[in-house]
A and B are shown apart, each in its own frame.
Chain A
Amino acid sequence: MNPENINTTVNIAGVSFKNPVMNASGTFGSGMEYYEFVDLNRLGAVVTKGVAPEPWEGNPVPRITETPSGMLNAIGLQNPGIDVFTERDLGFLSEFNTNVIVNVCGHSEDEYLQVVERLSDDDRVNMLEINVSCPNVKKGGIAFGTDPKELQKITAAVKRKSLKPIIMKLSPNVTSIADMAKAAEAGGADAVSLINTLTGMKIDIYKRSFSLANKTGGLSGPAIRPVAVRMVYEASHAVGIPVIGMGGITSAEDAIEFIMAGASAVAVGMYNFHDPSAMIKIIDGIGDFLSENHIADINEIIGCVK
């Protein structure tokens, strides 16, 4: 099949994506640093690093450690705060022809709402992704993301303040991902994204200490992919809203696995560190897969594995 006749456009909550590939928050900055490797115009969306109302310092170092087929991170959502972000990062991103999804973090409901309000009528932003699942901040973050009632409540509060479509980013550190996806949907979420990192720990046996200063960190990379695929499958069967899938994607084949499990779009995280051009290869590879397998429209295969 001629690649020109293939449709790779997907629609999530009324927002059209030229292809289903974006970066995962926190692994690509706002795209500025990768300009030599990734033409942002080619991405379905750029997802920015979590931003709070005020600058956050993040955790002490070491914040990073390598693990088998993955890594643990405990960055602690270091960010410059919404003022610098809207000026510098959104100013930069407005030059490109791609969707902009801003990832939002906070220590309290009020902090999330402050960021949401600031961005709600900013026309440089297409969607907001609410990170209620960061395992590396003590207050807020994951507390909202592990209790379905809290999740529904904060989703509803965010929805009341936002004119933009809302993506709730779900934590895998729960017993039932289906219940969490349902809670987000009940709160009015327009989409869910998953998975955030799985809480892990590594010990340096020679130093008899933790490898990360924060003791625990979030596991990402191919090591978590099978868990992520299973959770995307379960979440997409539990709710009617679209699912954005991520967790260990390294190739077009990995991305298609998520799409067949039920993801309308996918995000690439730590693999950007391994190969700075990874997302472009994945976009091209998805096109090749569709063409070779005579699939005229990517939407035909979303959730095709029942």
Chain B
Amino acid sequence: MINEKARIIKSERLADQVFSTVFDSRIAEPAYPGQFVMVGTKSDSRLLRRPISICEADREKGTIRLVYRAVGYGTKELSEAKSGDSFDILGPIGTGFPLDAAQDKKQIILAGGGIGAPPLLQLARALRRTGIGKDSITAVLGYRSMKSGLFLNEEFSAEVNVILSTDDGSVGTRGTVVDALKERDLKPDIIYACGPLPMLKAVKDFAADSFIPAFISLEERMACGMGVCLGCMVKTAGRDSHSHVNNARICTEGPVFNAEEVVL
């Protein structure tokens, strides 16, 4: 794990309240799709770091990219920062999306609800690099509306097939990514998902009903990101490896879990 002051080299707005920040960072080297970083604030009174997924890690350039919605103090501060500003970054943290689970699968679905899409972009690239063809992978991306703006969809299109949904139906299917999945009658062999909890529950149920594996990325309030505070728990179906009480740490055993193994 690396703890460093990382310098911003690019910062841009992608959609309403959605921003992209690229850092010069040594974390690019060890980063694996689905892992995240803990970003510090500059405020002396906001002491907890903010967990944000790694959207892209470029080993050659030594950069990582975060794509996030500005919702509160930390994400707003980051969104207003300019090239040259530095932030404390700790990472890469957690397990990622297992790439080998997708080998030999014909219909691989990446389901990204809203601000859940970013970590799936790095996953899409990594899957392609393992030799899986574009035709075997479909990203189903859910947005609020055309008006609030789409983001990352073009970058996904360069790697995989893309299907869209919006809450108001202004583009693609009206509804969630699971609605879009059902409407197209796609027959997934495996699903990788990140997004709001109701969507992840729907993905978990869909996967169970279709007898296919699903790997979902979960969120919870985090204090340490190191596995020690025991703040970020999710209920598990079996005994967890740390406390042996059916409570896994999202920051350490997750954030990506086999949907079967967690109780949502």
Contact = CB atoms under 8 A, between A and B. Distances in A.
A81 B221 contact: no
Interface residues of B, number: 33
B247 A58 contact: yes
Interface in A60-103: 61-66, 68-71, 73, 75, 78-81, 84
B245 A80 contact: yes
Given A34-B228, A78-B230, A78-B233, A61 B47 contact: no
A81 B47 contact: no
Contact of A57 (B48, B49, B247): B247
B228 A61 contact: no
A179 B88 CA distance: 43
Contact of B230 (A58, A66, A271, A276): A58
Interface stretch (B38-46, B60-68, B174-182): B38-46
B230 A63 contact: yes
Interface in B216-235: 220-234
Interface in B239-260: 242-247, 252
Contacts of B45: 68-69
A273 B93 CA distance: 14
A3 B227 CA distance: 35
B47 A66 contact: yes
A210 interface: no
Interface residues of A, number: 40
B224 A273 contact: yes
A289 interface: no
Interface string B2-19: 010000000000000000
For the complex, would chain B's binding face be called helix, strand, loop or mixed by DSSP majority? loop
B172 to A, nearest CB: 29
A275 B49 CA distance: 9
Contact of A29 (B90, B221, B228): B228
B90 A276 contact: yes
A5 to B, nearest CB: 33
A29 B227 contact: yes
Nearest to B46: A66
Contacts, number: 111
B47 A69 contact: yes
Interface in A203-234: 221-222
Contacts of A69: 44-45, 47
Contact of A80 (B88, B226, B244): B244
B101 interface: no
B158 interface: no
Given A33-B226, A34-B226, A63 B233 contact: yes
Contacts of A49: 228, 230
Nearest to A248: B47
A232 B214 CA distance: 52
A277 B227 contact: no
A126 to B, nearest CB: 21
Contacts of B44: 69
A271 B230 CA distance: 15
A4 interface: no
B202 interface: no
B247 to A, nearest CB: 6
B252 to A, nearest CB: 8
A285 interface: no
Contacts of B231: 61-64, 73, 75
Interface of A: 26-29, 33-34, 36-37, 49, 55-58, 61-66, 68-71, 73, 75, 78-81, 84, 221-222, 270-277
23 contacts: A26-B228, A29-B226, A49-B228, A55-B245, A57-B245, A57-B246, A61-B234, A62-B231, A66-B48, A68-B45, A70-B47, A71-B47, A71-B223, A75-B230, A78-B245, A79-B243, A80-B245, A222-B47, A272-B224, A273-B47, A273-B224, A274-B47, A276-B3
